[in-house]
Structure 1
Amino acid sequence: MTRLAQPTNATPHDGCNGLSEKRAFLMHRAWPESPPRCIETHASLIFLTRDRAFKLKKPVLLPHADMRTLAARAALCAEELRLNRALAGDTYRGLTAVVRRPNGSLCLGGAGRVVDWLVEMVRLPEAQMLDKRLVDGPEPRRDEITDFGQAMITFYRRQVAPPHAGATYFDRLTREMATDLRHLNQMRAHLGQSLSDALCQSAPVQLAAMRGAILARGKAGLVFEGHGDLRAEHVCLTRPPLAFDRVEFDHDFRLIDPHDEIAGLGLECARLGGDWIGPILAAQLAMAGFAPPPPALHRVYVVARCLTQARLAIDHLRDPNPRTPAKWAPRARNFLDMACAVMAADDAALDPARGVPRSPRHR
């Protein structure tokens, strides 16, 4: 098997019969052991063997990435490897080539023409993922959370705030919220009263009012490259703890206020029953010298997160054959209810170290 740090001989078109052939090869012929478990997302196929995880990027056009050519997928694989080694170390082992042999068959590495690339990772223990621990137990311990918080603080301290980071960040938040509200309104029939007119009208107004505060945080060096997609399913409570699956397709998506990133993780933990986790991480971040945002800006961060998570949930119902369709509308409504609760909360309740106000339906 060929494992490389960087892909080579990438060409504009892979000449392969397509994704179905690669999927069949990776499911049934690539491994000497039993067939792997396959997890499918909009962007990737992840093949889980006994001790490894191999990610194959799909040749698809996404809103933020065009992965239809081998060259594009090769570049994104290399960037994913580079970025994730910063927080997950050699859990990210390298890139493995899918090769077309002279006889026309596929193999992993060896002589032939490269038709795709796999990001190869050590398979992390599923039972130690933060989302699994919150749902199935045992409940994360405080020291496990503070160890993870310290790992993120160490990572944040290595980042350099680029010029105009605040303006780039504000513009991205504005575009993202406009997309969220457009999609949510298009799916209003599934959302009922949770998508209130008051929320739709006030959220962008409150964000616009925070432009000066966000620009000021950028000038103060408090907007820089973070994880970009810090969710409970991307945190593993091993020793040391790891965060993985950083956003590789767009640098601007990784430009973030660390308190926004931690608030987003805290929001998801609260939805899964761990409402104490966000406040601990926010307080730890502040004690490390990363000044927390004022309550009004914290409100905007949390509402924006809720809208994005609601949109990502309900957008599953746009798929021709959505997976587990029954869960997406309730999840979207749950995030919208939390957004309304945050909008209605007073400033004292919006101290980042106190967490996110719960909506009546929050659980």
Structure 2
Amino acid sequence: MNSPVTQALPLEQFKRHLHDQYGEVVHLQTHISHVLLAGPHAYKIKKPMDFGFLNFTDRDQRRFFCHEEIRLNRRLAPDLYLGVVGLDADGRLVETANTQIEPMVHMRRFDQNDRLDNYAQTQGLDDVLIDDLARQIDQFHQNAAIAPKDSHFGTPETVYFPINQNFEQIRGFLTDDADQTQIDRIETASEAAFLALKPTIAARKSSGHVREGHGDMHLGNIARINGKVMIFDGIEFNEDFRWSDTANDLAFLLMDLTDRQFLGAARRLLSVYLESSGDYEALPLIRFYAAYRAMVRAKIALFGIRPDMSADEQAGQWAIFRRYADLAEQFLAPTEASLWITVGFSGSGKSLASMELVQSLGAVRVRSDAERLRHFPERAMRYTPEATKYVYNHLIDIATIGLNAGWPMIIDATFLRAEHRALFEQLAQTLGFPFHILFIECDAPTLRRYLRERTAQGGDISEANEEVLEAQLQKLQPLTTAEHAYTYRLQCDTSFAGQIADIVWAKTT
């Protein structure tokens, strides 16, 4: 429901004052706010509207939510959110937003070309940016407040309510039989996925993964400012939209990247986030939540249809709706899982090769180095036989979660010993998934050179040095005759991208 504006805001007067001081004023609008850009400043004014999921009709409420917007968004973008100011009846800026004047959020202005939905179209999304973004989201999730266990946030019932509501609201717009049939399919698949995941959803709440997140994390709410990735404009007006599983928070961005055809970036973001967080138990939920987020966007496209639109404009909105509906159905469709392992010495490029498989095939990479560091922070305990046994068993557990959730999994470790390789081959056979080996061929002088270069560059989590390499060179147990049948050999001195692309092409044609 929409409530009319109770009193006209003195926007034109404010714009004139801003123009007198700064020159050009840019006035942007959404369905819930006005945003004025002038000089180095941005001012956001909440419209006095009631949409059911938000209510800004009362000035005290608008003031409360302005302060909430500052509080919440300073978690990720402290330099961007400056404070709450006011707009008086004459359209003049007041530094303190008391009860008699209109509250505004005061932000630092940035170039709209730096917003990632715009930036990506002209500059692309490079690996460094995606890795930085993934780790920043993980750090944000780790620091976010955990939902009280007795709250309704993140319970299965709370999770399913907006999913079901989407279908109810969408059906009121549909007249085409094909659209109605597709929505029936998506709803059936969503309900089936929910019922299968219901215990997992409940367990995630109990284990503290329902947190006060961002709620609206997509490329339009992320910017690259002064070389730094900054996430902004989180949900302040509805707690149910904000308090959710961290997997749900992340899934919105993964869906948005996929919709925009940045498939490699989406796949890399997921793997790097999981490597940073260790939260591989989120894997069964990612596609389910991505489908939900796609259906939210599909619904919003229909909400954007107005009677005063031209036929072409309305057709454009329907095209957006169908694009997101197709994407939701794609996320809910059965997938083909497989298990891959690397075999190679430290410095051979296993992690580079495995990341190429992530971006080409949509696999999820798990690095033994990352799990060893996570579970054995004391170096003295990190490389004992007991630690190595624990790490490989833990990698088995992670691979099992991913495979059962329908993800291709790539385990990045040296796998020099046949017994370790056999563990994973047996896992794949037991679960009924294809098993493959990526064998990285690299001669000793090249390995030594690569290790020296990696050490000089820094930044890699691997702790292997030349002494470790020399020991490894004596430990490799050759592949068995059976292993050769499902092994792909890669040359370390040739681009992995091309070699992996050839493998994936051969497997999918």
TM range (shorter): 0.7 to 0.9
Q: Which has the larger radius of gyration?
A: 2
Q: SS in structure 2 opposite 1:120?
A: strand
Q: Equivalents in 2 of 1:106, 1:202: separation in Å?
A: 52
Q: SS in structure 2 opposite 1:224?
A: strand
Q: SS in structure 2 opposite 1:81?
A: helix
1:216 equivalent to 2:219? Answer no
Q: SS in structure 1 opposite 2:123?
A: coil
**Residue 166 of structure 1: how far off its partner (Å):** 8.8
Q: Could you tell me which residue of structure 2 aligns to residue 300 of structure 1?
A: 288
User: Given the superposition, is the C-alpha separation of residues 344 and 262 from structure 1 closer, same or farther in structure 2, using an over 3 Å criterion?
Assistant: same
The answer to which structure, 1 or 2, has the higher relative contact order (CA under 8 A, 6+ apart) is 1
Q: Equivalents in 2 of 1:115, 1:322: separation in Å?
A: 36
In the TM superposition, structure 1's runs of 4+ consecutive aligned residues that sit over 6 Å from their partners are 110-113, 349-352
Matched ranges for 1:1-363 at <5 A = 18-19=7-8, 21-32=9-20, 33-100=22-89, 105-109=90-94, 114-135=100-121, 137-164=122-149, 168-169=153-154, 170-189=156-175, 192-193=178-179, 195-238=182-225, 239-293=227-281, 296-317=284-305, 319=306, 321=308, 325-346=314-335, 348=337, 353=364
Q: Equivalents in 1 of 2:84, 2:284: separation in Å?
A: 44
Residues 134, 272 of structure 2: 8 Å contact kept: yes
User: Given the superposition, is the C-alpha separation of residues 230 and 139 from structure 1 closer, same or farther in structure 2, using an over 3 Å criterion?
Assistant: same
Residues 84, 104 of structure 2: 8 Å contact kept: yes
Q: Could you tell me which residue of structure 1 aligns to residue 495 of structure 2?
A: none
Deviation string for 1:76-105 (max 9, x for gaps)? 1010011111100121111121123xxxx3
Residues 87, 103 of structure 2: 8 Å contact kept: yes
User: Given the superposition, is the C-alpha separation of residues 325 and 133 from structure 1 closer, same or farther in structure 2, using an over 3 Å criterion?
Assistant: farther
User: Given the superposition, is the C-alpha separation of residues 191 and 52 from structure 1 closer, same or farther in structure 2, using an over 3 Å criterion?
Assistant: farther
Residues 99, 113 of structure 1: 8 Å contact kept: no
Q: Equivalents in 1 of 2:282, 2:77: separation in Å?
A: 31
Q: Equivalents in 1 of 2:280, 2:24: separation in Å?
A: 48
Q: Could you tell me which residue of structure 2 aligns to residue 6 of structure 1?
A: none
TM-score by length of 2: 0.60
Structure 2's unaligned 5+ residue stretches are: 339-360, 366-405, 408-509
Letter in 1 for 2:208: G
Residues 165, 224 of structure 1: 8 Å contact kept: no
User: Given the superposition, is the C-alpha separation of residues 73 and 160 from structure 1 closer, same or farther in structure 2, using an over 3 Å criterion?
Assistant: closer
Residues 80, 108 of structure 2: 8 Å contact kept: yes
Structure 1's unaligned 5+ residue stretches are: 1-15, 357-363
TM-score by length of 1: 0.83
Residues 28, 35 of structure 1: 8 Å contact kept: no
User: Given the superposition, is the C-alpha separation of residues 139 and 215 from structure 1 closer, same or farther in structure 2, using an over 3 Å criterion?
Assistant: same
Q: Equivalents in 1 of 2:82, 2:334: separation in Å?
A: 46
Across the aligned residues of Structure 1 and Structure 2, the Cα RMSD in angstroms comes to 2.9
